[in-house]
Amino acid sequence: MAHLSKKIKLYAEANGVTNIDFRSDVKLQDDGDGVAYIKEWNLSIDEPTAEQIASYETAGNAAEALAGVLNKRQTEYKDFGHQLDLLYHDMTAGKLDGTGEWHKHIKAVKDANSKG
């Protein structure tokens, strides 16, 4: 189930609002029962109804899954210094194609963490 904050971001983007601060623009609350709700709404667009929020469930799940894949990729790519070192060695070896170590490393990460 997509987080309420993700569904609110999608709703806001669909209505022309791209930057939301969840400390001032929209305040969410969970009273300890695991059910988050909108406590305060300070955006220039109408507060969404429960039905409008629910309509973003599928898109929210997809966005959260993609974010998870991209975060995992970022970790596995290693830092830029490592990647530049791989590229340097590939350049020295004349392997700036699919046979180079940098390309093989990046491809392995992408293959292991498919966007779906």
Query: Are 36 and 60 members of one domain?
Result: yes
Query: Are 44 and 59 members of one domain?
Result: yes
Q: Dihedral of the CA atoms 64, 16, 54, 51 (nearest 10)?
A: 180
Q: Could you tell me the residue range of the domain that residue 63 belongs to? A: 1-75
Condensed to tens digits (0 to 9), the pLDDT of residues 39-58 reads 999 999 999 999 999 999 99
What tokens does 41 get? Answer: 């709404």
Query: Are 86 and 61 members of one domain?
Result: no
Query: Are 39 and 89 members of one domain?
Result: no
Query: Are 85 and 36 members of one domain?
Result: no
What tokens does 113 get? Answer: 């963490």
Query: Are 43 and 55 members of one domain?
Result: yes
Q: Is the pLDDT of residue 116 over 90?
A: no
Condensed to tens digits (0 to 9), the pLDDT of residues 50-80 reads 999 999 999 999 999 999 999 999 999 999 9
Q: What is the chain's alpha carbon radius of gyration, rounded to the nearest angstrom?
A: 21
- Say how many Å lie between the first and final Cα of the chain, rounded: 18
Question: Helices 101-112 and 80-92 meet at what angle, rounded to 10?
Answer: 130
Helices H / strands E in the chain, number of each: 5, 2
Query: Are 83 and 115 members of one domain?
Result: yes
94/99 Cα distance (integer angstroms) = 10
Helix (H, G, I), strand (E, B) or coil at 114: coil
CATH number, domain containing residue 69:
3.30.56.60
Query: Are 31 and 42 members of one domain?
Result: yes
pLDDT of residue 58: 96
pLDDT of residue 22: 97
How many structural domains is the chain composed of? Answer: 2
